[in-house]
Structure 1
Amino acid sequence: MTAEEKNLYKLRKARKKEERLVESLKKIEPKESSEIIHDPEILTPEEHFFFLKMAHKCKNYVPIGRRGIYQGVILNMHLHWKKHQTVKVEVKTFSPDEVKGIAAELARLTGGIVLDIHEENTIIMYRGKNYCQPPTEIMSPRVTLSRKKALDKSKYRDGLRAVRKQIPRLEQELELLRAQAERPAENKTELVEDTKVADDDKNAHLGVSSLQMENSSRLKEIIERAEDCVDDESNTELGIESDSEDLSDIFETDSETEPEDKAGDNLYLDAVDKFPAHSGEEPEDFEDHLRQISMDSRNARTEKHLSTPNLDEVDRMFLRAASLLKKKRR
């Protein structure tokens, strides 16, 4: 069964129940007799005010519950009027309009006068000027219901009230279902759009998660590269420090050897030895002798430079410096 069929079934059932309750109420209602005629006395405003004030001071009352008006309520009111002129009837579980109907019915059945309806649930009644206690047939009229039938009537009345509240709600739901059935295409398109939106949201979520994974992997790679670069830099710094120490050692050794060479070459003392000693002999041509000395000194210098191993050390120094520069560039 579809939702529309279920709603139709409930609506038909509620309408049948309403008809059944109305029929049962008609059966249980007593037949009205034309014998009871209510002819209330006319009260002056002063009398009305006096009896109303007296009723508010008195504490006697008659309760009316869910059963409503039945034989026991009428009998109880007449028993109160035996000693009191007024009586208060407290009505419960009834609406203000129903309370007004109950007041009119009580005045017709008892022959009293309704003075006022206080706070919409309390009926104040006066027995009348020429009141005398009626016979038992009037105190418990047959036109009223018995206690049991009054209870059954209250049950039927409550059920009818609930069914009449439910029928409009079911009719409204049925109209909504029919309106939805007339627009199936629109509903389908809306469902498709909703599914598309949901899929787009899922894809966007997955894309964001994939981007986050890629970013995390890239960060890891960058961190690893940075660590490798730090290690390489530390190694290169150590190598540069060692190379700089070697170069400093080389230049220190060169600087230490240079002053010794200079000290040895200062003042050309070896050339002085070549001058002739002071003897009795004098050279024939002094200028030729000086020229010969200078030539000998030059030849000695060239032989000295060729024979010294300092040239090989200098070459090694430059070769080592060139290799260190190549390593730095790499």
Structure 2
Amino acid sequence: MVDKAVEPTNGPEKIEAGNGAGNNAKVKRKKLKGKRAVVRWLKFFRYKKKKEYERMTAEEKILYKLRLARKKEERLVQALKKIEPAETSETTHDPEILTPEEHFFFLKMGLKCKNYVPVGRRGIYGGVILNMHLHWKKHQTLKVVVKTFMPEEVKEIAVELARLTGGIVLDIHEENTIIMYRGKNYSQPPTEIMSPRETLSRKKALDKSKYRDGLRAVRKYIPKIEQDLHLLQAKDKSKPASISNVVEEIQETDIESIDSESYSNIQWENQDKLKETKHEGNQVSKDDLVTKDGLDSDSDGLSDLFETDSESGTEENAKRPLYLEEFEKFSAKHDGDREDIEDHLRQISVDSKKANSSSEVVDMQNLDEVDRLFLRAVSLLEKRR
């Protein structure tokens, strides 16, 4: 319902925008109502940027980072130009001339004194100058301890302090401590000089330090990105060169293979190689046969040496047919009558049983007591069955 109520109101605006397109009139973006709508739009915008970055190639990503870094550098330089105070030509510094003895004496006094003014990340601002004049009210020398600054920047800070306060820089001790002397004819200046308008306020000095640190970091980061870009471009140039070399080599080999003379030479070489391999194979087969014959003869000789009587007996038994042994059991004497033959067969069966029993008795005599017990048990069980 809300969309339906909103559509008629937006209708004429769209028509006006379409009519004004010919007059180079820009279409106004729809205003977002509510905090949630703004957050939703920002999330969608960030997601879109993230996906665009993921689709980029390696070189495009480096160029994108380099472009952002240079834009940031320009923005920080402009911010520093805006925030820095305008220098006036009225403030001039004419330091007093000190003799070597006075310089040595005041420097020794300044090293021994314990009063100091710290200069932090904000650098020089109105509060630092005021503190220095308040110290000089009771002490001739003063230490200014400078932190989070490079040695070259400490020298610039010393020159700026001498210009703003009218004091004399005696020495820079350990690259971070400035020893200053107030002057021979020092008198406490008015508040306008004690906290000059040229200096920044506390808040602006903090903003300036943030811009300065950001600019320093960006200027260190840009050369690294440029180096990565040069390395990537060099790799991309080397890859096509290597690919072209490979293609040229392949083409040269193809051309050589097409030549008739080289082709015929390759064929002759292949035929010679085949003949050699066949000849070698025949020689190997002959050698294998010779070795096999030698091994067989050796094995036969060994078998002759290690022959025994049992082996000779087994050979004779194998040659002799088995049915002859069965016929040998029958006696050769027999008559022609059938009844005599039946009696003879019965007699043979009785004799065979007796022979078996006698052999069993002989075997029983040769057995141990344990074996005899087992045989008796077996016979009793058979009788019971």
Counterpart pick for 1:240 among 307, 314, 319: 307
Q: Go from structure 1 to structure 2 and tell me whether the alpha carbon gap of 1:57 and 1:137 turns closer, same or farther (over 3 Å shift).
A: same
**RMSD, aligned α-carbons:** 2.6
| 1:91 pairs with 2:91 | no
Instruction: Please give the secondary structure, in 1, of the residue aligned with 2:307.
Output: helix
Correspondence for 2:192: 137
Aligned counterparts of 1:185 and 1:31: Cα–Cα separation in 2: 56
With the length of structure 1 as denominator, give the TM-score of the two structures: 0.58
Counterpart AA for 1:121: N
Instruction: Please give the secondary structure, in 1, of the residue aligned with 2:138.
Output: coil
Correspondence for 1:24: 79
| 1:11 pairs with 2:66 | yes
Structure showing greater Rg: 1
Deviations 1:213-269 (A, max 9, x none): xxxxxxxxxxxxxxxxxxx99xx79983445999xxxxxxxxxxxxxxxxxxxxxxx
Tell me which stretches of 4 or more aligned residues in structure 1 moved more than 3 Å: 186-192, 236-246
Counterpart AA for 2:307: I
Correspondence for 2:137: 82
Instruction: Please give the secondary structure, in 1, of the residue aligned with 2:143.
Output: strand
In the TM superposition, residue 191 of structure 1 has moved relative to its aligned partner by 10
Q: What does 1:155-174 align with in structure 2 at a 5 Å threshold?
A: 155-174=210-229
Aligned counterparts of 1:189 and 1:136: Cα–Cα separation in 2: 78
Deviations 1:283-321 (A, max 9, x none): xxxxxxxxxxxxxxxxxxxxxxxxxxxxxxxxxxxxxxx
Q: Go from structure 1 to structure 2 and tell me whether the alpha carbon gap of 1:191 and 1:242 turns closer, same or farther (over 3 Å shift).
A: farther
Aligned counterparts of 1:190 and 1:30: Cα–Cα separation in 2: 63
In the TM superposition, residue 188 of structure 1 has moved relative to its aligned partner by 4.5
Deviations 1:127-162 (A, max 9, x none): 001111111111111100011111100000000001
In the TM superposition, residue 183 of structure 1 has moved relative to its aligned partner by 2.7
Correspondence for 1:46: 101
Deviations 1:187-232 (A, max 9, x none): 548999xxxxxxxxxxxxxxxxxxxxxxxxxxxxxxxxxxxxxxx9
Counterpart pick for 1:103 among 158, 170, 184: 158
Instruction: Give the paired residue count.
Output: 207
Aligned counterparts of 1:191 and 1:100: Cα–Cα separation in 2: 60
User: Which of structures 1 and 2 has the larger relative contact order (alpha carbons within 8 angstroms, sep 6+)?
Assistant: 1
Aligned counterparts of 1:187 and 1:66: Cα–Cα separation in 2: 53
Correspondence for 1:65: 120
Aligned counterparts of 2:305 and 2:239: Cα–Cα separation in 1: 80
| 1:34 pairs with 2:89 | yes
Gaps of 5+ in 1: 193-231, 247-330
Identity of aligned residues (%): 76
Q: Go from structure 1 to structure 2 and tell me whether the alpha carbon gap of 1:191 and 1:130 turns closer, same or farther (over 3 Å shift).
A: farther
With the length of structure 2 as denominator, give the TM-score of the two structures: 0.50
Counterpart AA for 2:111: H
Instruction: Please give the secondary structure, in 2, of the residue aligned with 1:240.
Output: coil
Aligned counterparts of 2:239 and 2:112: Cα–Cα separation in 1: 70
Counterpart AA for 2:212: R
Counterpart AA for 1:109: L
Gaps of 5+ in 2: 1-55, 248-298, 314-385
Aligned counterparts of 2:63 and 2:246: Cα–Cα separation in 1: 27
